Structure formats: C-alpha cells, structure tokens
Amino acid sequence: MQTSTLSVGSGPLVDLIPSSDCLEHASETQPHSRASSIDFVVQSAGAEVACESTPQLAPPKPAPAKRASPNPSRRPNPRRTCSLMGVKVVGSGSYVPDNIVTNADLRERYGFDPNWIEQRTGIFARRHAGRDQATSDLCVEAARRAIDNAGASAADIDLLVVGTFTPDHLCPSTACLVQEKLGLDAPAFDVSAACSGFVYSMATASQYVATGNSQLALVIGADCCSRIVNPLDKTIAPLFGDGAGAVLISRGTPEQGLLRYQLGSDGGGGPLLECPASGTRNPVNIDNVAAGRQFLDMDGRNVFIWAVRMVEDTIRLMLDQAGLRIEDVSLFCLHQANARILDHAVEKLGIPREKVPMQLDRYGNTSAGSIPLVLDEAHRGGRIRSGDAILMCGFGAGLTWGTALFRW
C-alpha cells in the first residue's frame, strides 16, 4: 500500500461542514470553547434512522434541542503538556478487513450520493469487517504484523493496551480477548477515548516502559465503526470504516520518546458525539432499538468547528513547547476524520502537503485505528528514520484529543 495526499475542492457545505464564515469565526474564539461554536452555528436537522432488523426507515428524528453550553469555569486547561523520554517504537503493524465498500456500493444499496460524500469528506471507499470479525480480530492481525516487524515474539510482551470505543463486549475487555488469542503473559486493558484512543494508549504504555515496569509493551488502536452506525444514515454511515494498527514500545535512548504530548478532554461536549442507548444511563431495550438510539449520533457542524480549531491550537502548542518548527517535523500523522479538517491544518499551519500522509480516501474514519494505520504505512514505506520527529494528533468523542510529538 502507498500513502497518498489528498485535497478536497470547495463546494456548498451542507449537514457536516460549516460555512467559511463560521470557520473563520471559529478560529477567533478561545481554544476548546465549545460554547462559542454552539452559539453561532445552526443545529443540523436530525438524520433518518432505522433499526437494522427492519428493511424500512423509521420516521425521521426531530431536530435536537439546543445543546447546553459547558460551564466556562470548568473548561479544561488547553496548555497543560508533558514530556516522557527514554522510550522508542521497535515495530509496527496494521490491518484492514478485505471487504471494500465504495461510494458506488452505498449508492446501489442505500441510495447515497457519491458526489456528496466525496466533496464533503474526501472519502471514496472504506473497509467493513466481515460477519465473523470483531474489533479483537482486527487487533490480533495488526499485533501479529507488528511483532513480526519488530523481530520479537509474543513471549517477550509484558503489557497490552488497546485503544477502542467499539469493544467486542462491555466485558470482558477487548484487550483480554486479544491477550488470550496471542497467548501473552501480560496485563491487558482497554482505553476508551474514541478517535484519540491510540495516542492515549501510547502515552499510557510509555509510562510503564519509561519507569521500568514494562520491557516491551504492545499498543493497539482499533475500531469496528461500521457496527455502531446506522447503515441507512446518509450523514454518518459513509464516514466510518474499520481498521487496526499496532506498535511495540521498549526502552530507548534519552533522546528518543515523547518530546511533548497533550491529553485533553471536554466532557461538556459529550452530547456532540454519542451513542445515546449503549450503557447504564440509557440501556439498550426494545424501544431504544426500534428508535435507532443504539447507533452513533453526531452534531457534525459543531464537531467540525471544534476539531479544526483544536487541531491547529494543539499542534502550535506542541511545537512551541518543544522548541521546534514545522520544518523540523518529518511527518504529521493526523487522525483521518475529514479531508477538510486536514486541509485546514495544512493551510493555517503552513505544513507541506507531502508531510501529511492520507488514507482517508481509501479507509474512511477508522477512529482509534487511523493514526497507527498511517504510522505503519509510513514506517514500512521508509518514510520514518531514526531521529525523525513525528507529530500525531487524534481528536473525537468525549470530547477528547491527544497530540504527541515523538522522537523516533
């Protein structure tokens, strides 16, 4: 596989994308202030949803009420960062299912408009897991490839951290299922931070390695997003795909590791991306399933405006606190959510496009899988060498974000 670059042309911004005026307004607001974006953005209409078991669409959901703004006094500190040196990546691997679902396939099955998808997201295809596959299966394939790439064995691994928000089950954890399938003698646990999950998991595992409590940690980011979206929802279903990526982390030199990293959250923005009926607050039951509330719901416009502002702010912060410039960074491995979010970062930060590898056009948004998928492809393609500075940035439901400037 080859990493490509992609730029999406301009066009009318509907449903998922705000107007250019809104985008300009967003760049002038305070970092991570969801309240300001909600005040000036009109709520998008609810998408049609249906239970998977019925062949017809349920009645459209009513437009959601205006979401409450978070308390400004509880806004997270957007400038809090950390550093953790003395760790290195010794191997990488990735996996996507064989089943390719193109925009033409979605048009044939559900009547979706391929041009609408391509112009507003930059996505042309995505991978969907087979009927016999779940998130743990994707994890295992990616992990085996990473182990092979590192020249290690499963017996060497003494820690497993899996970033996912689409676990096989509520319990046991996906990490425990992967641990059993790989035959590891290691503690194993999940980290649920949605599209920030890989960076969260990598930072977590690195603490164990840096302190000597792990000699070789396996970190996986993986999601089966196709299982939590309503396949009939034209504003959400086309965006997501399934995939997994993995890295192995061991002790490195004092010059290697996390030069700077930032893990952030804003729970006040939780309703912008949620599965309403999926836990103990609102359990899955007959009524909720009939209404499609078990599926992912997204306020696309406000998520977009938050994301473009956050990505720009956090990348500037990482570079400033590490004392580096754009030209000092070899690659920017950014979460593959929407081509226009990446285009905005490239334009505002002055990043050369060749430094921002893209898989979005082929795989869609694979959530926690997207950054390690990009990272592995670049690594195996010879685009990452010892001493390179690699910037990773994930952002998504929670709201959460995780940005890491890693010295390879």
Which residues are designated catalytic?
195, 335, 365
Up-side HSE of residue 171: CA atoms within 13 Å toward CB?
Answer: 1
Whole-angstrom Cα distance, residue 16 to residue 167? 26
Nearest to residue 345, comparing CAs of 27, 105, 3? 27
Tell me the two tokens of residue 193.
């931070």
Please provide the size of the chain in residues.
408
> Are the C-beta atoms of 203 and 263 separated by less than 8 Å?
yes
Tell me the two tokens of residue 186.
């290691």
Write the DSSP string, 95-150.
E--SEEEEHHHHHHHH---HHHHHHHH---EEEE--TT--HHHHHHHHHHHHHHHH
CA distances (Å), origin 182, targets 64, 155, 308, 376, 396: 44, 9, 38, 20, 29
What kind and span of H or E run contains 7?
A: none
Up-side HSE of residue 339: CA atoms within 13 Å toward CB?
Answer: 23
What kind and span of H or E run contains 174?
A: helix 174-182
How many CB atoms are located within 10 Å of the residue 383 CB?
17
